[in-house]
Chains A and B, each alone.
Chain A
């Protein structure tokens, strides 16, 4: 009797859900059709008002910069949470490399993987920096460039091992970079208020549309965000690698 009742309940719930879901889907605007006025207004005005040809970046780092500040600190807090959660506890030791069973040691990365990862790492750095610094001109910006930049140490981990990863990534420097990136964003807003503008209002000279030195604070905030996102992701990776490869639980 009981499983049968459960089945009836889930059936009723599923039917109700799909009726409401279908009703909601029917009310959606068609694919590619945008009903609100704000997107069109900003699309038409952003380039003249802010000298930024990428309107998405102009919205993220200028018109809606306050929301992005919140988002950035969500990321900042999440990274801190991960690092605190995965830290070494009092009863844990940071042991040597995990000893492999005889005949079961992990094979070293193949030459093809090493060549590809090494060859790709330098272009990745350039590409990441390009995406960060050209956020105001073409699609991209701090968040996208930051994650691309953060994947470079990962490529080096792929072609070596954890010790080499540690040798090229300084933990203190990464922490400082993350804090500085998040701080500069807020500081730009505060400097604006000190100069008599609204918080995060674009007060720098706008420059010529289409050049890197355009769009005032958009480019600066995008750069700071890129550094913060990159450093934050590398910190999370380091915490994970530490937890899996170095830290030994107590008692052994």
Chain B
């Protein structure tokens, strides 16, 4: 059990580091989802199954989804502004 815990802590550190070092927000949100799953596993191995249950949903599903939706909104807005600039240059 201590070996397993050490392993999962290393995995958490690796996943967290990977998320922090990713530059592209889209890739980052997907990595964040994986990080949420690893964190849930860690809670489980530290005998907090109830925390793990909410962590799976919040950390691995809902948070990345909100980030993805925000990115989609930003992308659509940038696209629109680009289109306006192009039509402005034409006229």
Contacts and interface: CB of A to CB of B under 8 A. Distances in A.
Interface of A: 31, 56, 98, 131, 139-141, 143-144, 147-148, 150-151, 154, 233, 236-237, 240-241, 243-244, 249, 252
A147 B5 contact: no
A154 B69 CA distance: 13
Nearest to B66: A240
Contact of A148 (B53, B72, B76): B53
Contact of A240 (B49, B69, B77, B80): B69
Contact of B50 (A31, A139, A243): A139
B62 interface: yes
B50 A140 contact: yes
A189 to B, nearest CB: 23
B54 interface: yes
A131 B70 CA distance: 31
B8 interface: no
A147 B80 contact: no
B65 interface: yes
A233 B65 CA distance: 12
Contact of B53 (A31, A139, A150): A139
B51 to A, nearest CB: 8
